[in-house]
Each structure stands twice: as C-alpha cells, then as structure tokens.
Chain A
Amino acid sequence: MGHLRLYLEFTRKSFQRAAAYRFDAWTRLFSNIIFLFMWGSIWYGLYHGKESVQGISFQSMLSYILVSHLLQGVHSAGTPLWEIQERVRTGDIAMEFIRPYDYPFRLLFADLGSITFYFLIAVLPLYSVLFFTFDLSLPATLDRWLFFLFAAVLGYLIRFCIELTFGLFTFWLVETGGVEDIFYFAISLFSGSVIPLWFFPEWLASLARFLPFQTIFFVPNAIFVGQLEGQALIQAVVLQGFWLFLTYTLLRFVWRRVIHKLVVQGG
C-alpha cells in the first residue's frame, strides 16, 4: 500500500463528484427515511401493548432500528452492485485491468469519498436529530463508542468484499436475476438489518450465526444498543475479523480468476 496517496486521490475525486450531484444524496436520504418510517411503524405495531419482548424493550428496539438504518444509509452511498455488474456486462471493466492500480482498492477508496460526503451532509444531521428527539439511549462509555465504530467499519468491509465478489460472478453467470435476489434476501435477513437475530427461531438463529452476514449489521447494532457486552463483544469482533479475512481471501481468489476469464468480444 505504498500508493496510498494515489488511492486517496480517488477518494477526493469521488467526494467532489458526490458534492456535484447533490440531488442523488437527497433522493437517497428520502428513501432511507421512508424505509426507516416503515420499519419503525412495523416494530411499533409489533410491540403494541407489550412492555418488552424477550427482555428487549421497545426503546432499545427503536435504537436498533435507527442505528441499523443509519448504517444501511452509509452502505447505500457506495457503488451499487448493479453498477459493477453493468461494467462487467458492457465490458467497461476491461479498462480497469489496464490501468496501474488495483481495482478492488480503487473502488473501496472511491466509495469512501461518496460515503464521507453523504454521511456529513445527510446521515449525521438526520440521525443526530432523530436520536435527540426520541431521547434514545446512546452508548454510555467511550469504549462502547469505539467498539461500535470499529465493528461498523469491519462490517462495511465485509459487506464490500462479499458484494464485490458476487458482482464478479457476473463474469460467469452474465444474467444473475434469480441468484441475485436470493443473495439480497440472505443479506437483508441474516445480517439482522431489519430483524435482530435474537427474535429468530432457534434453528434459524444458529444458522445465521454460522453465516458471515450477521457480522455486517447485527454485530455493530447489538454493540450500539448494549446487547453485546464483555466476553461476547470481544468474541463477536474477533469473529468479524475472521470473516473479513475469509471474504477478502475469497475476493482476491475470484479476482485472480476473473483476470484469466476476461473475454473481449469484437476486440
């Protein structure tokens, strides 16, 4: 990584691009609010007339949903999966091979730029106001904040590796309709983005614990609302590190195969 300056240049450029197309940020924010509102009302309905379910109060469930949508908002500012797939299908990705940088890293750093912009201008103000208005519990200690941030970053990287790897499968599958929807479903359910794992049926929860997806949203969310503490917290973060290593290795493996797989038609 001696080329950090080079990659940070991509971050700067993509920050500027995001700032130029501000309308994108507003529309994304709008849909984020709608989904937040939707899930908020659903959980409100589920909790109707109940103080706490399985030891979880509505207050902490609301924090869970809010922080989950905060993270999802951050994730949504990165390069979407379909864009990677489109680059594979149109062959634009070939241009990335001949340039003197590493494509996965370039993508990661470019996403960092658009995410920073979106976070500063939309996510941070909105969620500060929301947490303040609903008077929700925030992590009490600095340790918890740091663990949350660390887990959230690891979660982001894991999602990035998984999604890019899946995007690269387009080289073999070309049309990914059905597979893609299973993939999205797996991420949205097993990551705990909408339903925390502790509300799963026992067998499904144990299945989820063996999958990498829970480390994307569930772990940081649970740390944030204080459901993961002490030993369990350390274990969860170590598990995140393990999955990051594994998914990154897989990404590298697939990336190497892709370079050999490249087919240029009519070239």
Chain B
Amino acid sequence: MLKSLLSAVRIYFYMVGASVRAQMQYRYAFFMNILGWIMHYTGTAVTLWVMLYSFGALEGWTFWELIFLYALALLSWSVCILFFFHFRSLDQYIVNGTFDRFLVRPVHPFFHFMAMKFDVGAFGQLIFSVAAFALAYTNLVLAWPWWKWLIFFGAVIGGTFIQGGILVLISAMAFWTTRSERFFWVVMFPAKSLIKLSSGYLPQGNTVDSHLYPALCFC
C-alpha cells in the first residue's frame, strides 16, 4: 500500500516536472499568464475599494475584512487549480478521441490525467492571494495562536479538495454530453464569484477572529 503510494508520488512529480519544463519553454507567455492573473484579482480588489469609498462598509464589513475573506476563498481555489484546472478541457480529449491513450497506460486514467499538467500560470493567483492575505492580516492586527493556523490550513486543504471535486465532476459530465467546458465557465465561474462576494452576508461577529467560521463555510 505504502509502496504503491510512494511510487505514485514519484510518478506524479516526474510527470509534473516534464509539464512544468514544457510550460517554461515559452517564458514570455508564462510570465504574461502569471501577470494576467495578478492583474485580474488586483482589479477586483481595487473595484471593491472604490465601492467602499462612499459607503464605508458592506453590511458592517470593512474593506480589509472583505479582502481577508476574498483572499481566503481565493487561496484554496488557487491551490485547487494548480492541480485540477486542466480538467476543464477533458471534453476536448473525449470528443477528439485522445482520451483513449489514458486508458491504455499502466496507471490509473484519473491519476494520469491529473499528473498530465501542473498549471504553473495559476501561481499568479497564489501570489495574489498570499499577498492579499498577508496584507489583510497585518492591517487587521491579527495575532493567531497556533491552533487557528491549523484550522486555517485545514480549511485551505479542505476547500482545495471540495472545489477540485466539483471541477472534476463538471468535467466528467463530458462523458455523457461531450461538452462540459462551456458549462464550467457559465456555471461554476459565476457561482464562485457569487459565493465569494456574498460571503459578506454570512454570520457576523464583532471580532475578526470569528471570520474564520464563514471562511470555513465556503472554502
């Protein structure tokens, strides 16, 4: 059991390494991709700031508190897409018949597909969410004890798996419908934005520490 797990990890890193090398070949595109993601989210944060300029707070949530929630939601999502984002193009493989090659290899097709790509471009999101989280953490003058950090990392890991699961679920619909990417963009993406921004309506607490609870709900 342990042996096969270890070998799976080794194979995963080997394949992912190849994928990363392939993506790094186009350095300019690679850099632009990361920059694009950072710009995209910075834009949202700036929009949020402008919106709160005249209003001060959204149902009692101030700018940095909202950034904190936003960064938290984004953090698990960015980890998720590092590993799972390429599943969205699964339908192309199914339609073109290229998925068959995953079926004839001596590894599990799911594992093989997952290890096929490691979306390095998604680092842009990770960089943004970590930076935004750190900024919000400082601005809100938080001082978490170790167990809160534990819950925090648990929430990020849990959120990664839940969102990864949903992503794979939508992609797998392509086995029946042959089209799923569009469904992904029109359903999952707006739904995600909705959840992210409506998080402001979850239970309110006066101390920022209680934000961990809503954050856990949607992570």
Residues of A within 8 A of B (CB): 27-28, 30-31, 34-35, 37-38, 41-42, 45-48, 53-54, 175-182, 184-185, 188-189, 194-195, 199-201, 204
With most chain B CB atoms within 10 A of its CB, the pick from A46, A54, A180 is A46
Among A28, A45, A184, A204, which residue has its beta carbon within 8 angstroms of that of B201?
A: A45
B40–A53 touching, CB < 8 Å? no
Among B37, B39, B183, B197, which residue has its beta carbon within 8 angstroms of that of A42?
A: B197
Cα distance A50–B6 in the bound complex, in angstroms? 59
Cα distance A24–B58 in the bound complex, in angstroms? 34
B58–A42 touching, CB < 8 Å? yes
Does B43 make an interface contact (CB < 8 A)? Answer: yes
CB-defined contacts of A194 to chain B, threshold 8 Å = 47, 51
Cα distance A194–B187 in the bound complex, in angstroms? 21
Chain B, residue nearest A199 (CB):
B54
27 sampled A-B residue pairs with Cβ under 8 A: A30-B190, A35-B193, A41-B198, A41-B201, A42-B197, A45-B58, A45-B200, A46-B51, A47-B55, A175-B29, A177-B34, A177-B36, A178-B32, A181-B36, A181-B37, A181-B39, A182-B43, A184-B43, A185-B42, A189-B47, A194-B51, A195-B47, A199-B53, A199-B55, A200-B50, A201-B50, A204-B50
Does B2 make an interface contact (CB < 8 A)? Answer: no
**Nearest-CB distance from B31 to chain A (Å)?**
8
Cα distance A28–B194 in the bound complex, in angstroms? 16
Cα distance A28–B32 in the bound complex, in angstroms? 28
Cα distance A195–B46 in the bound complex, in angstroms? 12
- Residues of B1-37 contacting chain A, CB below 8 A: 26, 28-29, 31-37
Cα distance A35–B193 in the bound complex, in angstroms? 8
- Given A177-B35, A178-B36, A188-B47, answer yes or no on A35-B54 (Cβ-Cβ < 8 Å): no
B32–A177 touching, CB < 8 Å? yes
A175–B28 touching, CB < 8 Å? yes
CB-defined contacts of B201 to chain A, threshold 8 Å = 41, 45
| Chain A contact residues: helix, strand, loop or mixed | helix
Chain B, residue nearest A198 (CB):
B54
Cα distance A178–B197 in the bound complex, in angstroms? 24
CB-defined contacts of A182 to chain B, threshold 8 Å = 39, 43
B32–A46 touching, CB < 8 Å? no
Chain A, residue nearest B191 (CB):
A34
CB-defined contacts of B143 to chain A, threshold 8 Å = none
**Nearest-CB distance from B70 to chain A (Å)?**
13
Does B104 make an interface contact (CB < 8 A)? Answer: no
CB-defined contacts of B32 to chain A, threshold 8 Å = 175-179
A27–B182 touching, CB < 8 Å? yes
Cα distance A28–B51 in the bound complex, in angstroms? 26
A35–B190 touching, CB < 8 Å? yes
- Given A27-B186, A175-B29, answer yes or no on A189-B50 (Cβ-Cβ < 8 Å): yes
CB-defined contacts of A28 to chain B, threshold 8 Å = 186
Among B29, B182, B190, which residue has its beta carbon within 8 angstroms of that of A177?
A: B29
B46–A53 touching, CB < 8 Å? no
B197–A38 touching, CB < 8 Å? yes
B54–A53 touching, CB < 8 Å? yes
Cα distance A201–B191 in the bound complex, in angstroms? 30
Chain B, residue nearest A29 (CB):
B186
A180–B54 touching, CB < 8 Å? no
Cα distance A28–B52 in the bound complex, in angstroms? 29
CB-defined contacts of B51 to chain A, threshold 8 Å = 42, 46, 194-195, 199
**Nearest-CB distance from B98 to chain A (Å)?**
20
Cα distance A175–B26 in the bound complex, in angstroms? 10
**Nearest-CB distance from B32 to chain A (Å)?**
3
CB-defined contacts of A38 to chain B, threshold 8 Å = 190, 193-194, 197-198
A177–B33 touching, CB < 8 Å? yes
**Nearest-CB distance from B182 to chain A (Å)?**
6
B35–A178 touching, CB < 8 Å? yes
B50–A185 touching, CB < 8 Å? no
